[in-house]
Structure 1
Amino acid sequence: MEPLDLFIFLMLLCLQWTAAPATKNIDWTYTGLVGQSEWSQYFPDCSGDSQSPVDVVTTQTKYDPSLIPLTPLGYSQHGNAPFTLYNNGHTVVIELPEWMGLRGLPWFFTAVQMHLHWGSGGPSHGGSEHTINGLSADAELHVVHYNSELYPNMSTAMTQRDGLAVLGILIVTGEETNVAFNNILNYLSRIRHADQKVPIPAFDIQSLLPTDLGRYYRYNGSLTTPPCYQSVIWTVFNDRVQISKAQLLKLETLLYSSKAEDEYRILLQDNYRATQPLNHRVIFTSFSAESGKELSSGEVTAIVIGVMCGCVGVAVIIRFIVKTIRSTSSWDVLPSNRPAPMPRMSRPEKANEKKQDMALNSTSEAEKKEEPSPPPQTEP
């Protein structure tokens, strides 16, 4: 090999060796110099046409009757070994044991880890990655699995089109405390800085999920963080999970994206990616619009009150109509069949008429007296 060719070969080898680690270990963030808008410059897959998260427009989804309820396996069989809680500088991660898995998909998927995404403004200010009809939730939980039927491990599977399956659980806030989420939130103060880990007691992972696992949206997408591999079968549940406002506040204010030795502390907040174009993809739904859903107690109460108010309103209207009809004389409502009234006579006319009647009566009596009686008849 010529010296010049050897030099060029060595230079290319050196560039390749240095470029790969730089891309792999690039310190990306959600905002700043290597924020979301710059991800694709360092991670080409982030500019793909099947990226996640997405906005689920329910009127544009397609019902697929073949989508069956998902079946978590081993989620409640946590055993005695503790879980590991980890602050990786981007989110809080709970590593899951390999005996946990998921059925209800074309292949069996083994659980790997779960993590959370949240905002910074408290309730109703966003924080979830997926949105439904343009509306975001306050946070979102992702449970990540890899296709263990086709691939030997997570690292291999995450680069394949059918390698991963992620459950997306939208989280909203209310007044009641979610005891299940305290299994995570109560230990956040022990991993406040990036790269800190702590063992936590194992608990039932399924208690974090919605009760109804049969109503969900399904589409093909990607990891929502670099390297943004387009290898995820997404399942976003229709039903939300509720935590308290105090629990959300813990999530938004306790963790730092900076390390303990860093001079400046940076709160770990707003760690959610903006929704991506759907492009050619179709979002399928496991339930039809006509099937409806179970109503919550609040919705049932609202319906009952609405019906009662409607009945009262109708009763008031009917009472008013009946009262109006009764207060109106029947002679005023129906055509009059009464005979025309006789004209009234003045009192003098009545007196004259009375006198005339008396005179006529006297004349009649006199005529009766003057009539000759018939001659007496003699007997033979």
Structure 2
Amino acid sequence: MEEGPLWVSEAAGLVSARREMAQWSKSFPDCGGVHQSPIDVETSAVHHDPSLMPVNVVDYHQPGHDPFILSNNGHTVKMSLPAWFQLGGLPWRFTAVQLHFHWGREWDGSGGLAGGSEHTVDGRRSAAELHVVHYNSDLYPNVSVAQSQRDGLVVLGVLIETGDDNNSAYENIFKYLEFIKYAGQQMPIPSFNVRSLLPTDLGRYFRYNGSLTTPPCYQSVLWTVFAEKVTVTRKQLKNLETVLFSNDGKDPKSVPLQDNYRTTQPLNHRVVLASFVPDSITSYTLGKLCAVVVGSLCGLMGLAMVIILLVKAMSSTSSWEALAAVRPAPSRRSKEHDKEQKQDTAFNTDPDPEKPEAPPKVEA
């Protein structure tokens, strides 16, 4: 998620940018925290929470008459959103601020398409990713204050793949990229139905507590990553990957704005909730049950054979003495029992959430 200062220098390529990412924690301590984003969503390990309702986007389909502001800040392409765009169904009101993209490059070193999404699912990276940023407007006056608070932000993540049909919703943005090629450029564009950028199904998603994916990496984000992906054509994706530059245009050596995604971070025992039951959970459970049943049957048959052989071999010993020789010792039962504690599915998906870190002081 892009919300902090820029991390790609004007002369930085992919290798130097990755090295710079590794050094973030030296200047921004939160970047070395244990609740960082993005993550790899391992579908076989998520926790299904049937209480999670479909995401309620309020007034996304009513953009108003004022234009949106599209800008290139040197790290991503960002579009402003009106304050009446909100999220419902959460403990507080969350107001939209902006949306932006993360992407890779047209070709990787082996001649194939290189993905650029930040979140991955079962280790697979998508072609690109859209983030829609909201802040807690009930508790905080603006996003700058909210971003350093544990309950400050909610971000919707949309994974993007390539397909055959032109995506007219995304074309509302992509067709203007050539006018903001260089860092610092911006322009007004006609407003449009932002709901059309999201997946059709808003009821299937993954949710977890994480962070901004750029410095200062505040661990203040409730992430919602939709399971359904949206598609754009390869031509549309190529436009996003090749038109923009990370420098301001004064440097004769223009630096393409590509690979602006952060690699996945360790989960560190966080709980990832799912509003639905992924297929991998179903297949894993059935397979495990079959293994348990088969193993139990084999164990019972083996025990029966041992008892029969012992009885025959020890004919001079009474049956009670023989059974005593193979009877397992009684197990000790624990006097204490764990008590389950229901987790807050909105802002406490972690089994042992860490104490919020105090935001660093920012000098004017």
Match of 2:69 in 1: 84
Is 1:47 equivalent to 2:17 in the alignment? no
Q: Partners of 2:211 and 2:228 in 1: how far apart?
A: 22
Q: Aligned pair in 2 of structure 1 residues 173, 147: CA closer, same or farther (>3 Å)? A: same
Is 1:151 equivalent to 2:135 in the alignment? no
Structure 1 unaligned runs (5+)?
A: 1-23, 294-380
Match of 1:214 in 2: 203
Mapped contact 2:5–2:215 kept (Cα < 8 A): no
Report the TM-score when normalising by structure 1. Answer: 0.68
Is 1:62 equivalent to 2:65 in the alignment? no
Structure 2 unaligned runs (5+)?
A: 283-364
Q: How many residues align?
A: 270
Any idea what SS the aligned residue of 2:23 has? helix
Q: Partners of 1:84 and 1:163 in 2: how far apart?
A: 24
- Whose relative contact order is higher, 1 or 2, with alpha carbons under 8 Å and at least 6 apart? 2
**CA offsets per residue over residues 323-370 of structure 1, 9 Å max, x none?**
xxxxxxxxxxxxxxxxxxxxxxxxxxxxxxxxxxxxxxxxxxxxxxxx
Mapped contact 2:103–2:129 kept (Cα < 8 A): yes
Tell which deviates more after alignment, 105-114 or 54-63: 105-114
Match of 1:74 in 2: 59
Q: Partners of 1:105 and 1:43 in 2: how far apart?
A: 30
Is 1:236 equivalent to 2:225 in the alignment? yes
Q: Partners of 1:141 and 1:228 in 2: how far apart?
A: 18
TM-superposed deviation, 1:124: 4.5
Q: Aligned pair in 2 of structure 1 residues 102, 31: CA closer, same or farther (>3 Å)? A: farther
Is 1:198 equivalent to 2:187 in the alignment? yes
Give the structure with the larger helix fraction: 1
Q: Aligned pair in 2 of structure 1 residues 240, 38: CA closer, same or farther (>3 Å)? A: same
Greater radius of gyration (CA): 1
Task: Select which of 176, 189, 214 maps to 2:178.
Answer: 189
- The 5-angstrom pairing of residues 345-356 of structure 1 reads none
TM-superposed deviation, 1:240: 0.3
Q: Partners of 1:26 and 1:102 in 2: how far apart?
A: 27
Task: Select which of 259, 277, 285 maps to 2:274.
Answer: 285
- The 5-angstrom pairing of residues 12-27 of structure 1 reads none
Report the TM-score when normalising by structure 2. Answer: 0.71
- The 5-angstrom pairing of residues 1-380 of structure 1 reads 28=8, 31-32=15-16, 35-122=20-107, 124-289=113-278
Q: Partners of 1:224 and 1:31 in 2: how far apart?
A: 18
**CA offsets per residue over residues 50-97 of structure 1, 9 Å max, x none?**
000000000000011111101111111111100000000000000111
TM-superposed deviation, 1:103: 1.0
RMSD over aligned Cα atoms: 2.0
Q: Partners of 1:203 and 1:291 in 2: how far apart?
A: 37
Q: Partners of 1:254 and 1:92 in 2: how far apart?
A: 11
Q: Partners of 1:106 and 1:124 in 2: how far apart?
A: 41
Give structure 1 regions of 4+ aligned residues with deviation exceeding 4 angstroms: 24-31, 290-293
